Structure 1
Amino acid sequence: MDDAALVERYLEYQRVERRLAARTLALYQADLAKLLAYAEAVPVGLVAVHNAHIRRWVAQMHGGGRSGRGIALILSGWRGLYSWLGREGLVEANPVQDVRAPKSGKPLPKALGVDEAVQLAEFSGEAEDPWLEARDAAMVELLYGAGLRVAELTGLDVRASGAARGWVDLDAGEAHVLGKGSKRRSVPIGAQAAQALTAWLALRGEGATLNPALFIGRHGTRLTSQSIWQRLRRRSQLAGLATPVHPHMLRHSFASHVLQSSGDLRAVQELLGHANISTTQVYTRLDFQHLARAYDAAHPRARRKPGG
């Protein structure tokens, strides 16, 4: 049986025995077509393929620009074929078994531009409900103005206590939060955040609820992370932002904008509560992107096309 017939037989097995969907079978077929093409170029029969062949083809795919994730999916399809060939007694060992795809570069965190962040922070929505407007505005100011994680935000109480995970001290201009690894840190609160919190606390009311949480819902219960995600997404859409905003995007924006202005990576590390500076260094890449865009937009040599 030739190689193409072997592949067709395997796909038929997947369709009949495993009842794979047509879309999944089409993806398998495309991946196995690549394997056939690589083997034909050597040339080598499918049952004679060795580990070295697979590693060489992975390197070729990677060199051609295919992502690590894409290569991993292709290898999964190849690995399945050779597992089946082994059960059929056609190969003694699976040449794909210990081959792994190259690691993909960690994607950059998504951050808003300065103008977009300010547009969101200054947006005044929910005019028909001042209570909701004051609460949501204070949440945005803390997320963007102090770089809090959403779990740190939901853990804030109105005041300090033995049971409080975190609290805000408006007199001192600080938020005390419980971060990852149960590590406590204090972060400064800017004038805009303090003003928004003061407005929210006035409407929240001391006797409105027995719940000590700083941010509560209409029924007096502490807001969940999911609720804050939903409220922030709605607010960003109402504010006219092209991208729906989530809480961590505001944390990324805080870090990127502070770094752009100060260049002080250690300070940003302390403000974010990162245990390792390497975690914070990703924002230097965001900062470089900002500088590159500014260069492309402003520098006459960047704008001039070759031969223009």
Structure 2
Amino acid sequence: MKYLDNKSRETQASNSVEHSPAGELMTEDLPWGLPQAFSDGIPLYRGKHRGDYTTLSAETDGEAIAQWLAEKAADSVATARAYRREAERFVLWAARSRHRCLSDLDRSDFAAYREFLRNPGPEWMMARQLSRRHPDWRPFLGPLNDQSVYYALSIVSGLVQFLVDTGYLRANPMPSPKKPPGQSFSPIARSLSKAQIAFLFSAVNELPVQDGRSELMKLRARWMLTVFTTTGMRISEACGHLMGDIQRVPLKAESVWVLMVTGKGGKQRAIPLNQRFITEMVSFRRELGLGTYPERGETTPLFPKLNQVSDGGDFDGLSFEGIGSRHAYRIVKDLMLSAADIASKAGEEYEAGNLREAASTHWLRHTVLRDIADETEDLRLVQLFAGHSNINTSAAYSAKDLESLVKGLSGL
């Protein structure tokens, strides 16, 4: 980080209250580092909206953003990744396109950023996902649709409001993001049919096996599908939990297997496990050389890495690490593409279309919650199972009104 000395900082701070930055500026890195293609940094000076007193221990905009991330996204890896991505996109745009730091942006700058998200331009886009260390990395894979623009601006709006609330900024220059009209989220429309689930497991069964390691990977893929289609966990939850979180819990009438999950906001819930889950768990654990059932406190990841397993399938003395969310997503997404091919060969083009074009790991969560809503007609149970903060979120999984409408119109 390239800092001004105290005298220069005070001079530039006083000048920046009345004037936009001009000439050569000092710059800083983002606390989590800058991508190679943007290594010139972000402007470092005191913007005209900086407050005179703040409860943050931050001297720069980058440090203030880092404290926002640490406070708002500490409980979820997925949330932290999404918040960091949107904050980074925003400050890189401000630096490269407006030559300003965050604390110096006006209302017109935020309006310009909204339009930029709809059409970033080729210099801001990459053709495929690359490492941030790659010189061709860019912040976008393509223009954002209206829903994604709203999502991105909502995160930036939360950041700016946090800076105002903590006194880092004296005013909020950002217009409130407007939700796109006529677009409502329907988890039922983003769930899979029984036929599509069957095609997914067929895709697992058809995975090729060349050696011991690929056989283990095939078993892990089946285990992962079983976990997602029985527990409805978010991918970040599944990749963050251990075999030791699977526990036997005594109830009044009997003891049951549950998965103790820590979800969004650090909320904990117990997910009851059905016999299909237990059967697949036992099978997978035996292939890993583990005991039949998990021990309390066991640290084996729910989804272990297998890249260190030898071609012959030897893992003696291997301490398993867990795979990350991106790795898990790629495994399931590849299975969905294979399942789409199987469905297409079977003449089920509609079933193939969703699997190929839209479905993701989160669709498996929607599918589980939709089935619970259909079978129990009890939204409170859906809320408990999913870990929703608001029961209105759970209500979106009920197809009861739609079913009633279909039955009522069936005779017309």
Of 279, 288, 291, the residue aligned with 1:195 is 279
Partner of 2:354: 243
1:140 is aligned to 2:225: yes
Whether the 8 Å CA contact 2:239–2:324 is kept in 1: the answer is yes
Of 192, 215, 227, the residue aligned with 2:327 is 227
Partner of 2:382: 268
Of 261, 267, 290, the residue aligned with 1:177 is 261
Give the C-alpha shift of residue 249 in structure 1.
0.7
User: CA-atom RMSD, angstroms?
Assistant: 3.6
Mark the CA change 1:276 to 1:228 in structure 2 (over 3 Å): closer, same or farther. Answer: same
Partner of 1:162: none
Which aligned pairs between 1:100-139 and structure 2 lie closer than 5 A? 103-104=180-181, 105-109=183-187, 110-121=190-201, 123=203, 124-128=205-209, 129-139=214-224
Which amino acid is 1:131 matched to?
A: L
Partner of 1:212: 300
Distance of 1:294 and 1:130 partners within structure 2: 47
Which aligned pairs between 1:1-308 and structure 2 lie closer than 5 A? 69=146, 103-104=180-181, 105-109=183-187, 110-121=190-201, 123=203, 124-128=205-209, 129-159=214-244, 167-169=245-247, 172-206=256-290, 212-218=300-306, 219=308, 220-240=320-340, 241-244=352-355, 245-284=359-398, 286=399, 288-289=401-402, 299-301=410-412
Q: What secondary structure is seen at the aligned counterpart in 2 of 1:175?
A: strand
Which amino acid is 1:181 matched to?
A: G
Distance of 2:221 and 2:402 partners within structure 1: 30
Count of aligned positions: 204
Whether the 8 Å CA contact 1:156–1:177 is kept in 2: the answer is yes
Mark the CA change 1:206 to 1:250 in structure 2 (over 3 Å): closer, same or farther. Answer: same
Give the C-alpha shift of residue 291 in structure 1.
5.8
Mark the CA change 1:113 to 1:291 in structure 2 (over 3 Å): closer, same or farther. Answer: farther
Whether the 8 Å CA contact 2:300–2:321 is kept in 1: the answer is no
Whether the 8 Å CA contact 1:177–1:186 is kept in 2: the answer is yes
Whether the 8 Å CA contact 1:173–1:188 is kept in 2: the answer is yes
Q: What secondary structure is seen at the aligned counterpart in 1 of 2:354?
A: coil
Whether the 8 Å CA contact 2:332–2:361 is kept in 1: the answer is yes
Mark the CA change 1:145 to 1:291 in structure 2 (over 3 Å): closer, same or farther. Answer: farther
Question: Which moved further from structure 2: 197-206 or 223-232?
Answer: 197-206
Distance of 2:176 and 2:260 partners within structure 1: 47
Which amino acid is 2:337 matched to?
A: Q
Distance of 2:299 and 2:176 partners within structure 1: 54
Residues 225-278 of structure 1, C-alpha deviation per residue, up to 9 Å, x if partnerless? 111111101112222343243221100000111111221111111000112101
Distance of 2:200 and 2:179 partners within structure 1: 39
Partner of 1:63: none
Whether the 8 Å CA contact 1:114–1:257 is kept in 2: the answer is no
Residues 86-131 of structure 1, C-alpha deviation per residue, up to 9 Å, x if partnerless? xxxxxxxxxxx98985653432131112332243246523241331
Q: What secondary structure is seen at the aligned counterpart in 2 of 1:242?
A: helix
Residues 50-86 of structure 1, C-alpha deviation per residue, up to 9 Å, x if partnerless? xxxxxxxxxxxxxxxxxx949x99xxxxxxxxxxxxx
Structure 2 gap segments, 5+ residues each: 1-97, 99-114, 120-144, 151-173, 249-254, 292-297, 309-319, 341-351
Whether the 8 Å CA contact 1:174–1:186 is kept in 2: the answer is yes
- Name the one with the larger helix percent: 1
Q: What secondary structure is seen at the aligned counterpart in 2 of 1:216?
A: coil
Distance of 1:203 and 1:99 partners within structure 2: 54
Partner of 2:29: none
Question: Which moved further from structure 2: 188-197 or 99-108?
Answer: 99-108
Distance of 2:243 and 2:395 partners within structure 1: 33
Which amino acid is 1:204 matched to?
A: L
Mark the CA change 1:102 to 1:226 in structure 2 (over 3 Å): closer, same or farther. Answer: closer
Task: State the TM-score, normalized to the length of structure 2.
Answer: 0.43
Task: State the TM-score, normalized to the length of structure 1.
Answer: 0.56
Give the C-alpha shift of residue 172 in structure 1.
3.3
Which amino acid is 1:113 matched to?
A: S
Q: What secondary structure is seen at the aligned counterpart in 1 of 2:397?
A: helix
